[in-house]
């Protein structure tokens, strides 16, 4: 996920403020996820995350999903309205696939967003693995959408 993100950031970063904001939020979510699952550059020891780390990641996850649906996509739509651009069927289909990942991601927050240190974490490893797969799937779909919309966002308003 991290190497794919670096490729996407290199290819699409710096071309548009909306895309840059989107990628910056994704980068923070990935950093938090890696910290949560115990991936660090120089540490081979893995420890269960604390309740506060799980809650923080859940908050970041909600922020990322909310920003996508209510800020990033809204900014894209405003820009399109200003330029007279209409999304293609492929763009709409990708967005629909992205929204299908929202509920399963929110389920993680429902389960871990308000836990405390005494709560059992018996399924945490499986849940984190599923979370990683869902995020990877969502990010791949978002990358395709970024590729499709980047040119339309580069047009100045009224063009």
Q: What is the pLDDT of residues 58-91, one digit of tens each?
A: 999 999 999 888 888 888 888 888 888 888 999 9
* Contact between residue 37 and residue 130 where contact means Cβ atoms under 8 Å apart: no
115 SS3 class: coil
- Res 48 pLDDT > 80: no
What confidence tens digit (pLDDT) does each residue in 36-47 have? Answer: 887 554 455 556
Cβ-Cβ contacts under 8 Å for 35 (sequence gap 6 or more):
49, 53, 57
85: left (phi over 0), alpha (psi -120 to 50) or beta: beta
pLDDT band at 105 (very low <50, low <70, confident <90, very high): very high
pTM of full prediction above 0.85: no
d(Cα 92, Cα 138) in Å, to the nearest integer?
15
19 SS3 class: helix
157 SS3 class: coil
């Amino acid at each position: 996920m991290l190497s794919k993100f670096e490729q996407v950031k290199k290819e699409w970063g710096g071309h548009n403020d909306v895309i840059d904001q989107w990628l910056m939020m994704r980068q923070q979510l990935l950093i938090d996820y890696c910290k949560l699952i115990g991936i660090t550059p120089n540490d081979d020891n893995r420890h269960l995350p604390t309740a506060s780390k799980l809650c923080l990641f859940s908050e970041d996850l909600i922020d990322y999903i909310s920003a996508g649906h209510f800020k990033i996509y809204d900014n894209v739509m405003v820009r399109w309205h200003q330029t007279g651009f209409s999304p293609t069927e492929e763009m709409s289909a990708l967005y629909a696939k992205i929204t299908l990942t929202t509920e399963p991601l929110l389920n993680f927050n429902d389960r871990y967003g308000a836990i405390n240190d005494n709560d059992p974490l018996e399924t945490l490893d499986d849940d984190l693995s599923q979370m990683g797969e869902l995020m990877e799937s969502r990010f791949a779909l978002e990358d395709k959408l970024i590729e499709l919309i980047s040119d339309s966002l580069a047009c100045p308003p009224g063009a």
